[in-house]
Amino acid sequence: MEYGIILATQSEIRRNLLKNTGISFKTIKSDFDETQLQDALYGKICSLKDAQDLAKKLSFEKAKNVSGRYSGDLIIGCDQTLYFKKRILNKPVNYEESFEQLKYLSGENHKLITATTCVMESKQIWSYISVQDMQMRPLSDEYIKNYIREIGDNVLNILGAYEIEGKGINLFESIGDDLFSIQGISILQLIKFLRKVGYVE
């Protein structure tokens, strides 16, 4: 293959998940500023479709941003939204907000939406949206405080302030059926597409 695959992400978790497949790729950080798109719906009543559309748009824009600099390469963009009680929750901006989010989600069911999009020549050629039901167990204030203290600044980089691939799994009674998507990239569906278009065997 003359051209390569680029994963447009800063996420070490996504990078490692794709690396574990054996696929050859490089990682380039996207410079797309997602703030405006996120703020348009933040705190507002919205539908599940709105949350799905936002994740898909963000994943596309991240990949498109990189695609403009790497003509001919296939760019993979990913993003997630957390949908709860008809609202979208963004990543917490500080420890206080992470505490409030976990307290808000405690004992409740929310939906974690993951969009994985492939772009070439700044055009979408494939996209997949995963919606996972996440049931958090009831958590005491003390437990939440201890959890945040243990994982430290990582809590600020994660939707819902939980680290599912680490100690965050202890927060849940049950999670959806696609762990890869929950961790941030729909690997199984992505590989199926890459195989179909000849990037992997």
> Distances from the Cα of 113 to the Cαs of 53, 94, 131, 173, 196, in angstroms?
10, 22, 5, 18, 24
> Distances from the Cα of 106 to the Cαs of 137, 161, 164, in angstroms?
6, 12, 15
Please, which residues have CB within 8 angstroms of residue 56's CB and are 6 or more apart in sequence?
79, 115, 117, 127, 129
Catalytic residue among 79, 133, 153, 178: 79
Has 39 been annotated as catalytic?
Answer: no
Cα(63)–Cα(75) distance, integer angstroms: 6
**Active site residue ranges:** 79
